Structure 1
C-alpha cells in the first residue's frame, strides 16, 4: 500500500529554534522511502515502486501489518550519508552500493492506521516494532536544544535537522494520493555560501549557467534555477544580449562579467555544485 509521504516546510529564515512542544532529529541526506509490509512487502519512493531495486531491504525486521516512513542512504566510511552514491545507485544498478533505511515514523501498526496518533506515541510504537539491523535503523529525537544541535550538525558538514511538533499527526491525502506539506515538520538546512559568475542561460529552462574561479580560469559548475526572481531575470537580460559569446543546442554562453552570491548544499565529485540557490548580485 502506497501512502503519499508527509512533507516538510522550511523553517523561517532557515534558522533553528527551541520550543518545548517540539523535538529535533537529524535530517538524513538520501531518498525518501515508504516500507509497506501489509499483505506483501513493497518499497515505495515518491514516484515509483523500488522493491526489486533493494534486495538488502526485502527481509525487514518488522511484523506484517507495518508501514514505515524514512530515508534510504548510502553511508561513507565516517557513517555520514553520501547522497551522490545513493542517487547513483537508484539510477543505475551497476553503480549501486548497499543502502540503510533510516526509519523516522510508523504509519501502520499491526494492520491499524496510526497516522492520527501524536508523533510522540508513534515514535514509541516505532521503537517497539522495529528491530535494528545492518540495513534498518531508527532515527531518534535528540535531547536538548535544537539550536545547539544544528550548530553541531554544521560543524560536522551534515545536511541539517528537522524540528517536529511532538503532538503532530501524520498528514497525508489518500483520496488524491498527493503529499501534504505541513508546518508541523520544519527543516533547517546546512547551506554553504559562495560567489560565482553567471556564464550563460538555458534555452529550454529558466536556469543560468554558473562558473567558479579556479586559478586563472572560470570552471563550469552547472546550472542554477532556484531563487531567481523575475526582477533578477529582467536585470540579466540586457547583459545576456550584450555579452553573448556563442551558443549550443540547449544553451547561450556569455562573458563572465556578472557575479552573484549563492547558497548550495555541497559539491558533487564531478565538480558540479549541488542545488545552488540565487541570493543576490554582487556589485
Structure 2
C-alpha cells in the first residue's frame, strides 16, 4: 500500500498564510498546499519556499494554487484569508467583509476536505471561528480558533523580557476573548515553577498584562500597514502539529463551549484544551477563583457582543 503523507492546506497567501506554510514545511509536518484567489502569489511564494528547502534541507512538497480541488483530502486546513482592519473601519464592517471570504473558504473545505481539522486564524478571530463552525457543520472537536496560542506566546515573551530570563522557562496562558478582553492568567504564570507574583511587583505585572492585551496594536503601530504574522502563523502550526502528531498538547485555543464554564450559546471562547489526533480531545476544567471567573465572564460577553455582528451578514 502506498504511503500517504500528511497534507496541510493553508488558505490565504498573504504574510500570515505564507509564513504558516513556511513553518509547516520547515517542520516537515506534511505536504503543503497554499491557496489564494491571487494564484500568482500562491504559486510564486510556494516555489520560493520549495527552493529554500534545498538550503534548509527539508523534504516537503509545497504547491500554490487558486483551485480548491487541490486541497482535496487535506488533514488540516488553516484559514488565514481575510482583509485586515483599515483605518476608520468599524469591527462590524470588518466582520461583514471577512464573513464573505470565510463563507467561500468553507464552501471549498466542505466540498474537498470534509474530514479535515480546521484552524481559524483570520480576524476578528472569535467571530470568524464561530461563523466557520456554523458554515462547516463539523463537530466542535474539528474547528478551532488560534487566538489563545498567539496571546499566550506574547504573554510569555513579555514576562521573559521583563525578567531577563529565557522564554523557555516561562509558563503563561491567556484565555477568553482574542481582543481587549483577553484574560492572562497571572496566578498561574511562573518561571521554572516560581510564581510570577513572587518575582515581580503588582505594577510590573499589570504592565505586562496590558502590553499582552495590546500586543497586536503595538506591532501594527510600528508596521504602519499590515499586522503581525510570525507569531500568529507559528501559533497555528503549533496546533496543527499537535493534531498531526497526536501530541495531546494542552494549549489555549478557541473552542465551542457547550455548558463548560457556564457558556451555553455555542460561543467559541479561548480555554485550555487537550489537542491530539482527534482534534480537541477535552477541555481542562480550570478552577478559577471568584475574581478570575468574573473576568472570564466579561471576556465571554465581549465575544458574545462581537458575534452579534453576524446577524447582519447576508
Tell me the TM-score range normalised by the shorter chain: under 0.3
TM (norm. structure 2) is 0.23
Which is richer in strand? 1
Which is richer in helix? 2
